[in-house]
Amino acid sequence: MSRSPGRKQENHKISRELFVLTYGALVAQLCKEYEKDEDVNACLDRMGYSIGIRLIDDFLARSAVKKCRSYSETADMIAQVAFKMYLGVTPSVSCNSVTGNEFSLILDKNPLVDFVEELPAERASLCYCNLLCGVIRGALEMVHLAAEVSFLQDRLKGDAVTEIGITFLRKSEDRRHRRN
Amino acid sequence: MADEALFLLLHSEMVAGCTAPAEQGEGENGRCTTKLESMGFRVGQGLIERFTKDTARFKDELDIMKFICKDFWTTVFKKQIDNLRTNHQGIYVLQDNKFRLLTQMSAGKQYLEHAPKYLAFTCGLIRGGLSNLGIKSIVTAEVSSMPACK
């Protein structure tokens, strides 16, 4: 091939930009269709959920990771492998509770908002990246881990970093059943 | 490329999201295709800007079309256009025998009636790209047998 290696990097960047731009166009279209921010957020979450239930297959096929033994391992896996694979960034993970089922993924750099400067004034409570929450929730559900995922901090709304909170909902009754 | 899976899934969600509320009648179907096409238009405009930042100026229309067939298509769909035909009077036919967005759907005539929805975004993408390069155009798509399309 006569192309230099620099070109390949650029192509890789462009295909990620395609995804980011498409996402932006989608959010803009949804904002046009729905008046309320909550409706847009719910719609993004729903779409993210449908994407997540399919993406988990792709992820497991590509990464061939072993089964996670604990919630913290799962959270680490999402941050270090999944995010890196699909979005090219690695958020840091921190555990929020003593019971060990609440985690936060802290993103310094969110590639989805690369081309977004700020939210318009009339859309102050829009969660621009709500798709991500839906994706994580859908993917976890397909591996039989129920969780609640939401944005705790959002750089677009003026916070210092973007923080996604994952709360694993414990299903202790199921575990007891299985042991019997 | 992992990004591709993400984009494919997002695209199918968008099509599903546009068509689900619009199940009654032909008129609604038309509107959903328009929505997808206009989204593609916006994305195409932005993408072509990022893409042609460092490339040389294009000599003429044919040069632009060749760029779209080779570099642009390769970056977006990881392959080149298989066949480009023109009548040298402003009509170009781009043929892709294994269109990425349709390969997962079927390999023949099944689901043919659903194919146009999946092509609307890409038509908009091309139209947006051309418009930012200074060419006004109308882009239509035709599928006779999946996953090939023109």
Between CA A128 and CA A160 the distance in angstroms is 16
- Taking a C-beta distance cutoff of 8 angstroms, is the pair A128, A156 a contact? yes
Between CA A88 and CA A112 the distance in angstroms is 11
What pLDDT score does B112 carry? 72
Task: Tell me the per-residue pLDDT of A86-136, one tens digit each, with 9 for 90 and over.
Answer: 888 888 888 888 777 888 888 888 888 877 777 777 777 788 888 888 988
Predicted confidence pLDDT, tens digits, chain B (150 residues):
567 778 888 888 888 877 766 555 555 566 778 888 888 888 888 888 888 887 777 778 788 888 877 888 888 888 888 888 888 787 888 888 777 777 777 666 677 777 777 888 888 888 888 888 888 888 888 777 666 677
Across the interface, do A14 and B51 touch by the CB < 8 Å criterion? yes
- Would strands B92-95 and A102-107 be described as parallel, antiparallel, or unpaired? unpaired
What pLDDT score does A177 carry? 45
Domains of chain B (ranges; CATH) run 4-16+27-133 (3.30.1380.20)
A20, A22, A39, best to mutate vs chain B, most B CBs in 10 Å: A22
Pick the CATH number of A37-118+125-168 from 3.30.420.40, 3.30.70.260, 3.30.1380.20, 3.30.470.20: 3.30.1380.20
pLDDT at A10 over 70: no
Between CA A130 and CA A156 the distance in angstroms is 12
A:B CB pairs within 8 Å: 79
Q: Domain ranges in chain A?
A: 37-118+125-168
